Structure 1
Amino acid sequence: MIVKDQEMKIRELEKNLQEKNIRPTAMRLLVLEALLDQEIAISLTDLEKEVEKSDRVTLFRTLKTFQENGLVHSIDDGTGAPKYALCEDGCKCELERDLHVHFHCKECNETICLPKYKIPEISLPQKFISEEANLVVKGICGKCAS
């Protein structure tokens, strides 16, 4: 029964990657599985600890492939290392539609996606072209405030 459950899980992970036009290699499956297990955004260093038998370059390339294909988004939370989180279903990482607020807790150092809180549209001066936006609210999360 355990083997059958594992096979179903792998097929589901493969399907998730294929839907984003990402070839499902063993490493990509491991990284996706690790990201699915996270409730917070994760840095490359933290991902290294989660995925055994991996090297930093391969993990970085995997994350970049995921990002280029709209499976993950990166977050600059001001800590000096980008964090990565899975995109919501239906996300196309479009500035006007999909960007949301992130929260960085100063106590536990966790960064959390808040997809229900969208970044409002910002009207830029003529001939300015937006390529990315990032809104990070910093403070104390509910877990640490308790």
Structure 2
Amino acid sequence: MNEKQIEGLLEQHGIKLTANRILIAKVMSTLDYPISMKELETMLLTMDKSSIFRTLSLFKSHHLVHQMEDGNDIVRYELCHSHSEEEDEDIHVHFYCEHCHRTFCLNEISVPQVNLPVGYRQTAVNYMIKGICPDCSHR
């Protein structure tokens, strides 16, 4: 995504434009996998940890990022391509490789609908499959 598209996405989700927010969204838009806070810190050496955390929290509250725990108990974030600040429209399955410890987005596989018992209300879904990725299977 170019900077104009990033700005449009932020505005679409009701997020005020700042240099840090644009930079974090731009970095995340280049990735095809969920990223951890530590990885973002490494990529954004000029930005302090608290600014990154606050920005990710803001993005999450406006449904601009998905937050998930990978198979290694690490919280990861990925840019949401939803068109709404009210709900996530692109929830999908993730795969954690137990060999190389990478987390993959399986965008083409939707999370199955679960009918919860009366009185329960869903606020988030974290659908993680664990196993061995194709690269590690061939080694």
Q: TM-score range by the shorter chain?
A: 0.7 to 0.9
C-alpha distance after superposition, 1:91-117 (max 9, x if no partner): 6316xxx43211111222111221221
Range moving further from structure 2, 85-94 or 117-126: 85-94
**CA distance 1:102–1:120, change in 2 (3 Å):** same
Q: CA-atom RMSD, angstroms?
A: 2.0
Q: Which residue is 2:42 aligned to?
A: 49
TM-score normalised by the chain length of structure 1: 0.82
Residue correspondence of structure 1 range 23-62 to structure 2 within 5 A: 23-62=16-55
Identity of aligned residues (%): 33
Contact 1:41-1:110 at 8 Å conserved across structures: no
Question: Is 1:101 equivalent to 2:101 in the alignment?
Answer: no
Question: Is 1:114 equivalent to 2:109 in the alignment?
Answer: no
Alignment match of 1:138 (pick from 113, 130, 133): 130
Quick one: distance in 1 between partners of 2:20 and 2:9?
14
Contact 1:41-1:113 at 8 Å conserved across structures: yes
TM-score normalised by the chain length of structure 2: 0.86
Alignment match of 2:74 (pick from 81, 84, 89): 81
Range moving further from structure 2, 82-91 or 31-40: 82-91
Aligned length: 136
- Structure 2: give runs of 5+ residues left out of the alignment: none
Structure (1 or 2) with the larger CA radius of gyration? 1
- Indicate the SS of the match to 1:75: strand
